[in-house]
Amino acid sequence: MWNPARECTHDTFPATRPARAFAAALAAVLIAVPVVARAQTQGEDVVTEPASLPAAPALLVATTPPAAVIVPPAEPARPAESGTCGKAGLERVADAARRGTVRITTHTSWGAGFLLDDTHVVTHFHVVDRPFRLRVHTRDGLSVGAKVVFTDAFERIAILELEAPIPGKALELATSAPVIGSEVVAIGVPLDFGTREDRFPAHHRGVVADRDDELLSIDAQVGLNYTGGPLLDCQGHVAGLLIPPPSGRAEWESPMGHAVPAGKIREARASVGKKPPPVTTNIVFGFATAFAAQFERGKGFVGANLGMPMLFADQWEFLPRVGVFALVPTTDDPRLPIARTDVARIAADMRIGYRIPLVSSPASVSLVPSIGAGWNWEYTEEKTYNLVLDNPTCMSQTDPCSFRMGKNTKESWAHAGALSVGLGVHVHVMTFGYELRVLPSPDVKFIHQVSLGLSSF
């Protein structure tokens, strides 16, 4: 009877050993090829090493099954909000920006904003901190008056109420803050006040670099023309309200852009009407300076005016000012005697003007007729140069005559009251003006003055 325990262990048929080794190697290759292919299709990096033939290939193939390849589960796809917007997202952003972004102008400032609903606009407080002649301009040329109805305690968010509704252009607030690393688009207005469809609004793409409940930070520099504009996510929703660079720092010194999160805007909208609107004074104090030239009776003066204007009730302008002028010297007559006159003039007056608005978009333009009264002081120094003989009797003697230059100086002061009428054109913060000044005594004198100046409003 055959007993496997007593089976001899030596190779009974040595001639068939190479064939069995070749068959074992071929079987191992046929088993490994499908496994490697399946692993590669599932994203695994398979590194193969040269396999050495086992000591007993026939027994290894017969008794050892192929090792199973364990494929880890695929990583879940990241949400679209955490990457780039893509072409479809940018189209949504562009549509929202064109629809709901507005430009806001006042006497003293301008900036961006966006429509929260048909009758309310959101912007930054600094855009409307002096809300005289406050107007909202849309991309299609519509201009509507507005008033400030809410400002937050930190003077960041301002909500305006429109005098007439602008339907169908409001932007939607995002329901959640964008995640760090997601792409956003900052929307502003062009620096040149352009309103052409290819220039308004301006935009700048960036990525959310940091966030908390009070502030969003993006890795993009946004200029002052973006202040008050919306920060849009890839869905075209408002993720935040853009704010200016930190106080005391220029925009190029601040490598990051900042925005107030949409949650704070939602809280501000809920507070409208629950507390009294901000109280604004009817008087605004400012600063004005101008270069001026005066002409009278063939004489020319150049100088400058310095004043502290007050704007009352939006249109009445009171300007106390002081001007200093000097006479422009003319070409001296080479014949003797030589005379030179230096005149210094000081003028102080109070001017009252009334601003008549002409254009409110793209820049504020006003016509300013004015009247004024004041006082003029003039200091005059007349110098006369002539040749004087050292020895008057030298002409009747044989001795040579010597001469020296004689100088006569005459100083005088004069003062007189002055009345003036003028007409100026005020463009944003620049003023071009003409005035006719009349000095009635002691002799009637007419002085024509032209000026180019800057003012804080």
With respect to residue 122, please indicate whether it lies within any of the assigned structural domains: yes
* Distance in Å from the first CA to the final CA of the chain: 121
With respect to residue 257, please indicate whether it lies within any of the assigned structural domains: yes
Q: How many domains, the chain?
A: 2
**Beta-carbon contacts of residue 388 (< 8 Å; ≥ 6 apart):** 403, 404, 405, 406
Q: Within this chain, do residues 288 and 322 fall inside the same structural domain, yes or no? A: yes
In sequence order, the β-bridge partners of residue 311 are 284, 317
Q: Within this chain, do residues 354 and 415 fall inside the same structural domain, yes or no? A: yes
Q: How far, in Å, are 182, 237, 452 from residue 95 at the CA level? A: 19, 11, 42
For 88-137, strand residue ranges (E) read: 101-105, 110-115, 120-124, 135-137
Query: In CATH, what number is assigned to the domain containing residue 173?
Result: 2.40.10.120
Q: Within this chain, do residues 291 and 264 fall inside the same structural domain, yes or no? A: no
With respect to residue 232, please indicate whether it lies within any of the assigned structural domains: yes
Pure H helices in 42-131: 57-63, 86-100
Domain end marker among 271, 300, 320: 271
Cβ atoms of 282 and 107 closer than 8 Å? no
Q: Within this chain, do residues 245 and 302 fall inside the same structural domain, yes or no? A: no
Per-residue pLDDT reduced to its tens digit, 383-400? 887 777 777 777 666 767
Q: Within this chain, do residues 236 and 309 fall inside the same structural domain, yes or no? A: no
**d(Cα 430, Cα 304) in Å, to the nearest integer?**
15
With respect to residue 287, please indicate whether it lies within any of the assigned structural domains: yes
Q: pLDDT tens digits, the chain, 457 residues: what are they? A: 333 344 343 443 444 444 455 555 555 545 544 444 444 444 434 334 444 444 444 444 444 444 444 444 444 433 334 457 777 888 888 888 888 899 888 776 788 999 999 999 999 988 887 767 788 988 887 889 998 899 887 778 999 999 999 988 899 999 888 889 899 998 888 765 554 445 557 788 889 998 888 889 998 878 778 889 999 998 889 999 998 876 545 454 457 888 999 999 999 999 887 776 666 666 777 888 999 999 998 889 999 999 988 877 667 889 999 999 999 887 655 665 677 788 999 999 999 999 887 765 556 788 999 999 999 999 998 888 777 777 777 766 676 777 777 778 888 898 999 999 999 998 877 889 999 999 987 788 899 999 999 887 6
Domain that holds residue 93: 81-271
With respect to residue 36, please indicate whether it lies within any of the assigned structural domains: no
Cβ atoms of 453 and 286 closer than 8 Å? no
Q: Show the tokens assigned to 406.
A: 């004689």
With respect to residue 7, please indicate whether it lies within any of the assigned structural domains: no
Q: Within this chain, do residues 239 and 297 fall inside the same structural domain, yes or no? A: no
**d(Cα 71, Cα 184) in Å, to the nearest integer?**
36
**Beta-carbon contacts of residue 8 (< 8 Å; ≥ 6 apart):** none
Burial of 44 (0-12, 13-18, 19+ CB in 10 A): middle
Q: Return the closest-CA partner of residue 328 out of 302, 360, 355.
A: 302
Query: In CATH, what number is assigned to the domain containing residue 394?
Result: 2.40.160.20
* C-alpha angle 205-209-210 in degrees, rounded to nearest 5: 135
Entry pTM:
0.56
- Cα–chain-centroid distance for residue 51? 68
Q: Within this chain, do residues 409 and 442 fall inside the same structural domain, yes or no? A: yes
Cβ atoms of 453 and 308 closer than 8 Å? no
With respect to residue 266, please indicate whether it lies within any of the assigned structural domains: yes
Q: Within this chain, do residues 341 and 290 fall inside the same structural domain, yes or no? A: yes
Residue 384: DSSP 8-state: E
**d(Cα 225, Cα 121) in Å, to the nearest integer?**
17
With respect to residue 330, please indicate whether it lies within any of the assigned structural domains: yes
